[in-house]
Amino acid sequence: MLHQSTKAPGEAVAAPPPTGTVRLTINGQQRELQIAPWTTLLDALREYLDLTGTKKGCDHGQCGACTVLVNGKRINSCLTLAVMQEDAEITTIEGLGTQENLHPLQQAFIDHDAFQCGYCTPGQICSAQGLINEGKAHTEAEIRELMSGNICRCGAYTNILAAVKEVVDAKTA
Ligand code: FES
Ligand code: FES
């Protein structure tokens, strides 16, 4: 029986993508990955570390669903390569609180009913923690403006604002 090849004569066989070792510190733990150098931090978290609390919305820096903290600063993890964060302390939603000991922002989101589908929520909470770390937002207008990169398709903005404001106020009281 003739073997039928899908390759044209002389056509090169695609090489597997090159991988390298990337060492990340995530939620206080050292993790080592073998990944292609172009792997985004978002894909490293979700696809290689099973940290799926960080969500992929647009994958283009437009929605904020993928927000994590890098050295306490909020960033869109879809817009940075994992390899660029080797020396950083990365915090995801999984590192902010536990089921038994919720982070104040997590508790405030529950108390204020600040989510519907919940898809944007991890990014909202990480972004709010970054906002608090920045210490710039005090009024509702400032919080609204400085959280404007985090889109909520369910339109839970009023309740998100109330939740974040409660924690901002508690920090500055
Ligand atoms: S998934 Fe990163 S900003 Fe939308
Ligand atoms: S709660 Fe559904 S997108 Fe925000």
Distance 80 CA to ligand 2 centre (A): 23
148 lines ligand 1 (CB under 6 A): no
Q: What is the pLDDT of residues 22-69, one digit of tens each?
A: 999 999 999 999 999 999 999 999 999 999 999 999 999 999 999 999
Provide the number of structural domains found in the chain. Answer: 2
The DSSP bridge partners found for residue 32 are 23
Task: Give the domain range for residue 168.
Answer: 104-172
> Closest Cα partner for 103 from 129, 139, 141?
129
Q: Which atom of ligand 2 is nearest to the CA of 115?
A: 1
Q: What is the pLDDT of residues 76-108, one digit of tens each?
A: 999 999 999 998 999 999 999 999 999 999 999
Structural domain contains residue 7 = no
CATH number of the domain within which 42 lies? 3.10.20.30
Distance 1 CA to ligand 2 centre (A): 57
Indicate if 110 and 91 belong to the same structural domain: no
**pTM over 0.75, yes/no:** yes
Structural domain contains residue 5 = no
118: left (phi over 0), alpha (psi -120 to 50) or beta: left
pLDDT tier at 172, thresholds 50, 70, 90: confident
> Closest Cα partner for 65 from 28, 110, 21, 117?
117
Q: Is the sign of the CA dihedral 43, 36, 79, 22 positive or negative?
A: positive
Reply yes or no on whether the pLDDT at 5 is more than 60. Answer: no
Structural domain contains residue 15 = no
Q: What distance lies between CA 5 and its chain's CA centroid?
A: 43
Q: 3-class DSSP state for residue 104?
A: helix
pLDDT at 1: 44
